[in-house]
Copies of this chain bind each other. A is one copy, B any other.
Amino acid sequence: MNDVLTNLPIWQRLGDHARRVIAIPLADIVAVHGRFEQMCHHAAGLTVDISKQRIDADTLAALIDLAGTVNLEAQLAALVAGATVNTTEGRAALHTALRGTASAPQAPDHAVVALERDRMLAMAERIRSGQWRGCSGKAIEDVVHIGIGGSYLGPALVVEALTPAPGAPRCHFIANVDGAAARAVLSRVQPETTLFIVASKSFGTIESRVNAETVRAWFVERTGDPSAFARHVIAITGNLPAAASFGIAEENTLAMWDWVGGRYSVWSSVGLPIAIHTGSAGFLEFLRGAHELDEHALTAPAARNLPMLLALVGIWNYNFLGAQSHAVLVYSHPLRRLPDYLQQLEMESNGKSVRNDGSGIDIQTMPVLWGGEETNGQHAFHQFLHQGTRAFSVDFVASIRPRARGRELSHHDDWLLANCLAQAEALISGRDGGTVADPLSRHRAMPGNRGSTTILLDAVSPHDLGALIALYEHKVYCQGMIWGINPFDQWGVELGKTIGESLFKELTGKRTAQASNVTHRLIETIKRRRED
């Protein structure tokens, strides 16, 4: 184990820096000659600009020293080498291997991984091309993907973001256990032309299990043929026996690896809806973008290593400048689900308070990650950013070229980007503080003096989106390493599941659950009001 982070001389040096830098107007820091060249870098189709952060040359040097002290370079090498980075579960975290980045070819077996990817892509092509036939001989027109958390957010983000390949069936998603979610999707599809995908590592996740049973019952009721369902369902799981007993043929079952965590699984067979939507070529481009970012992360010096810089800027904002939340403001309608995706990636990975050795951490870890689709957010919550009392950090995310560039709509794109740049500018500059003589001017005043990062994709392409997701994955990993926590477990979600099962019994039957008296009383109230 490392020494406690806060005892390191570099940590104390950063604290001293913070006290100095906080007193300098951000506009002055930003005005320094040569700054843009030092703080805006490009790799794998991504431009990352940290030149608007409250970071001067000394701060940057100190942050880079921090990266050296905790040895981020070696940590990233260990990740792709298959070291047991997931210490509490005794596993490697080899999501990078799924995109061809691994320094130890023996683990996992590359041939096996490649074989499974080829199976998945072949399946996707059969579905997209119309070769896959349903029970009445018709081609598939709708794909319904059932999964939650890591088995949902990645495919949903990427499918929504990317242009469909010619002939691609429509992809729908059911995640929530709310019956309204399943009903909304089923009302739009026909059983004979619909293919269901059930993605669940354990094949026992309650939401996906309940939804899978509901779609099977729906299918059988409408076709009148229980045996036909097997031609309309694919499982993606690590539990083959459970999939088989649910009625899913072995040839229609794809593997989930135990060395890939749910929130890092978009590169695996969980990405099947993506491959159906974009075609194999698109999926391979998506992997290639992530691989290029991996190569960059593994080789670039910290001073221009995009994920390391993002991680360090985060640490600086969260631990030294007091940021209480991190906003991801996405100036791209196709990428509108990115904040949801990153909420899981960042908050489930680094929303922790115990260090690898079991000791409690003495500083703050990941804050709330939130955000929205812009420019909508400007008309909703930006008031808070410009005139609220709270410290926060921001990533602006945009695309240099829009997804599908219709000439006639290009002014839309310029307005979009101009607004993105303008918000970052307004956060720095603010507006003059007003005078006592004119009270209204005090209300119009904006303190400014607030930093931000801008991340630009060259285009909303499979390649650049792959790189973007990999960028954040490595950012998260680097922050975990700096904090000395394990970004790959999620012990905090277990207890709620157990209590949920127990309260389900109480809601549907007699009081049995161990729970607070106020919870029992609320359940009584619910039952009474349901009967009214």
Whether B500 and A415, one on each chain, are in contact in the complex, defined by CB atoms closer than 8 angstroms, is yes
- Within the complex, the shortest CB–CB distance from A357 to chain B, in Å, comes to 7
- A458 B217 Cβ-Cβ under 8 A: no
- Which B residues are CB-close (under 8 A) to A184? 333
Residue of B nearest to A441 (CB): B358
Cβ-closest 10 pairs across A and B? A149-B379, A351-B384, A179-B409, A179-B412, A387-B492, A386-B492, A351-B388, A344-B380, A422-B500, A358-B439
Given A368-B384, A418-B500, A516-B30, answer yes or no on A180-B446 (Cβ-Cβ < 8 Å): no
22 examples of A-B residue contacts, CB within 8 angstroms: A35-B518, A40-B521, A52-B519, A149-B380, A176-B333, A178-B375, A179-B412, A179-B413, A180-B402, A183-B404, A214-B409, A324-B324, A347-B383, A347-B384, A348-B381, A354-B387, A354-B443, A357-B439, A358-B439, A365-B389, A378-B497, A387-B492
A64-76: CB near B (< 8 Å → 1, else 0) gives 0000000000000
The answer to whether residues A495 and B36 also contact, given A176-B376, A415-B210, A418-B504 and a CB cut-off of 8 A, is no
Question: Is B352 a contact of A503 with CB atoms below 8 Å?
Answer: no
Closest to A501 in B: B418
Chain A 387-427 interface 0/1 with B at a Cβ cutoff of 8 Å (1 = within): 11110100000001111101011111111111101111110
Stretch at the interface among A125-133, A252-260, A522-530: A522-530
> Does B344 lie within 8 Å of A381, measured CB to CB?
yes
Give the residues in chain B near A522, CB-CB below 8 Å. 36, 40, 49, 51, 421, 454
Q: Is A496 a contact partner of B386 (Cβ separation < 8 A)?
A: yes
- B422 with A496: CB separation less than 8 A: yes
A135 interface residue, CB < 8 Å from B?
no
Closest B residue to A160 using CB positions: B184
Q: B176 to A375, Cβ gap below 8 A?
A: yes
Q: A177-B375, A214-B408 are in contact. List 17 more A-B contacts (CB 8 A).
A: A31-B516, A31-B517, A40-B522, A51-B518, A52-B518, A180-B333, A343-B372, A344-B379, A347-B388, A353-B387, A414-B508, A415-B500, A418-B503, A418-B504, A444-B494, A446-B491, A456-B526
Q: Which residues of B contact A88 (CB under 8 A)?
A: 440, 443
In this assembly, does A285 line the interface, its C-beta being within 8 Å of a C-beta of chain B? no
Q: Which residues of B contact A383 (CB under 8 A)?
A: 347-348, 351-352, 490, 492-493
Within the assembled complex, what's the spacing in Å between the Cα atoms of A532 and B88? Answer: 47
User: Which A residues, 54 to 83, have Cβ-Cβ distances below 8 Å to chain B?
Assistant: none
Q: How far is the CB of A380 from chain B (nearest CB, A)?
A: 4
Within 8 A of B (CB), among A355-373: 357-359, 361, 363-370, 372-373
- Rounded to whole Å, the gap between the CB of A388 and the closest CB of chain B is 4
**Cα distance A37–B492 when bound, in Å?**
31
A176 touches B364 (CB 8 A): no
Q: Give the contacting residue for A358; candidates B401, B425, B442, B516; CB below 8 A.
A: B442
Q: Which residues of B contact A116 (CB under 8 A)?
A: none
Assess A426 versus B389: contact at CB under 8 Å? Given A36-B517, A370-B368.
Answer: no
**Bound complex: CA A390 to CA B370 (Å):** 14
* Nearest chain B residue, comparing its CB with the CB of A368: B325
Restricting to A165-184, which residues have a CB under 8 Å from any CB of B? 175-184
Asked if A443 and B358 make an inter-chain contact with CB atoms under 8 angstroms apart, the answer reads yes
Q: Do A331 and B178 touch (CB < 8 A)?
A: yes
Check A461 for interface membership: any CB of B closer than 8 A: no
CB of A385 to closest CB in B, whole Å? 8
Instruction: Identify A179's interface contact among B406, B418, B491, CB under 8 A.
Output: B406
- Most chain B CB atoms below 10 A, which of A40, A262, A378: A378
Q: Counting CB contacts under 8 A, is A499 at the interface?
A: yes
**Considering the chains assembled together, what is the distance between the CA atoms of A279 and B292 in angstroms?**
54
Scan residues 410-469 of chain A and give those whose CB is less than 8 A from a CB of chain B. Answer: 410-419, 421-426, 428-431, 434, 436, 439-440, 442-447, 454, 456, 458
Interface pair A390/B367, CB less than 8 Å apart: yes
Residues of B within 8 A of A354 (CB): 387, 442-443, 445
- Verify if A152 is at the interface (C-beta below 8 Å from B): yes
Let me know if A108 is at the binding interface, CB within 8 A.
Answer: no
The listed residue (B178, B343, B392) touching A412 by CB distance below 8 A is B178
Task: Check if A114 is an interface residue, CB within 8 A of chain B.
Answer: no
Docked complex Cα distance between A408 and B434 (Å): 63
* A63 CA / B299 CA spacing, docked (Å): 57
